[in-house]
Structure 1
Amino acid sequence: MSLIHKVAVMICVLNFHYCQKCVNEKVRPLPAFDNVEVREYVLWEVSSGKLVCLGKCFHDVRCHSFQTLGSSGRCTGHATAFASPDKIYSPTLASPGTRMYLLPRASDFVGSACTSDGDCSLEHTYCNDGACNCQAGIMFSVGRSACVTDCTKWGYDAVRYFDRSIGGYNDDHVSGVTEAACRQLCLNSSTFTCTSCDYKDNQCFLSSATFLSVPESSRDLGTSYAHYQRTCL
């Protein structure tokens, strides 16, 4: 047997042992995400096929879903479940052949589809516009896979709450922008640590406060604003 063949056999053996516990993992495909690349809650990106990607996600306790990116030979692991493309708030990309899969531990987790609060099992989560999310003012931590209040390192994603807003406590105000641009302005802010933003009628209000860090009198419910809250690392 040539050296190349020996190396190939060794790689196959290592791959088998690496994922021998996960080959029977009942991953669930999400057909609604076919041909759609999602860039939210990305933990890592590797060059590999479905089986190796499944193994990496299975052994990473933070990982709850993964997607294989068409013919590129790449895959990404994600920290949450996903409900449907219309619950994705950062722009998705057309990507022929891309497929999304959920691990069993993604069931009832942050991001999973829901119709009532009882469908969401993680502590401090509720059904927010058809997807399980942390309660407003309590941040989802990618590293801890939990809803937390003690965030010291802010993440690169933001969750949308349609019926909430913060009265006052604005650190910046930008007019004439889209909702997606408002969300991105908060994530990219360099003049202060933006942790939430409110959007309505092309008006964007950026804030270093969170829904629970302000007095109860400033927590507006039932508004027509879109409220975004950053995640935590």
Structure 2
Amino acid sequence: MEGAPPADGVVTFVTVLNKKDWIETPCSSDSDCPEKNAMCYYDKCLCDIGFIYSVGRKACVSTCALSDLQTSYIKYPEGGLAGYNMYQVQANAEECKSICTNDTQCMNFEITSVPVTKLTYCNFHYVPLSTTTVDIDKDWDFYAKTCA
């Protein structure tokens, strides 16, 4: 009978915990970042280089299908991908995000401002993070799409 207590009289309760979203939380060392393949980068918990953040799993994953890429981004300050530029445009940060979001092959981009001219440029990449590394480059900021 539905709703009747079990024959042995023992009722079991199951607690389902929602995994806390830890990405971009403050940190001072890698040990402050609770997830596997995470690191403390410029005082925020981010995925290790070579991993992409999965919004659904709240974890860093090594691969993500193009069809699973999201419209949100994780920013790596002073980071860049040397040698993987598919194309460059003059645009501000919001325009760069829009261009990459609407380009189904764009996986990430980097942006810089040229101090003399005050012009902003974006380089767009079709390469997954698992096949390259983000280099420290004080003149650029790197943005990686998130995964489903």
* Counterpart position of 2:46: 133
CA apart distance, 1:164: 1.9
Structure 1, residues 31-54: CA drift from partner, whole Å, max 9, x if none? xxxxxxxxxxxxxxxxxxxxxxxx
Q: Specify the code of the residue in structure 2 equivalent to 1:194.
A: C
* Counterpart position of 1:114: 27
Structure 1, residues 79-98: CA drift from partner, whole Å, max 9, x if none? x2xxxxxxxxxxxxxxxxxx
For structure 2, list consecutive stretches of 5 or more residues without a partner in the other structure: 1-13, 114-119
Contact 1:166 / 1:211 at 8 angstroms: preserved in 2?
Answer: no
Matched, 1:198 2:110: yes
Cα distance in 2 for partners of 1:180, 1:212 equals 25
Contact 1:162 / 1:224 at 8 angstroms: preserved in 2?
Answer: no
TM-score if structure 2 supplies the norm length? 0.73
Contact 1:136 / 1:161 at 8 angstroms: preserved in 2?
Answer: no
* Counterpart position of 1:221: 136
CA-based RMSD: 2.3
* Counterpart position of 1:183: 97
CA apart distance, 1:60: 7.3
Q: Specify the code of the residue in structure 2 equivalent to 1:154.
A: L
Structure of greater relative contact order (alpha carbons < 8 Å, 6+ residues apart): 2
State the secondary structure of the residue aligned to 2:131: coil
Cα distance in 1 for partners of 2:45, 2:64 equals 20
50, 53, 61: which one pairs with 2:18? 61
For structure 1, list consecutive stretches of 5 or more residues without a partner in the other structure: 1-20, 23-58, 65-79, 81-108
Contact 1:137 / 1:229 at 8 angstroms: preserved in 2?
Answer: no
Higher alpha-carbon deviation: 136-145 or 223-232? 136-145
> Segments of 4+ in structure 1 off by > 6 A?
none
TM-score if structure 1 supplies the norm length? 0.49
State the secondary structure of the residue aligned to 1:184: helix
Cα distance in 2 for partners of 1:155, 1:228 equals 12
77, 80, 90: which one pairs with 1:165? 80
Cα distance in 2 for partners of 1:126, 1:182 equals 26
Identity within the alignment, %: 24
CA apart distance, 1:184: 2.9
Structure 1, residues 165-216: CA drift from partner, whole Å, max 9, x if none? 11122222111x1123212321222xx41111010010011111134413x6
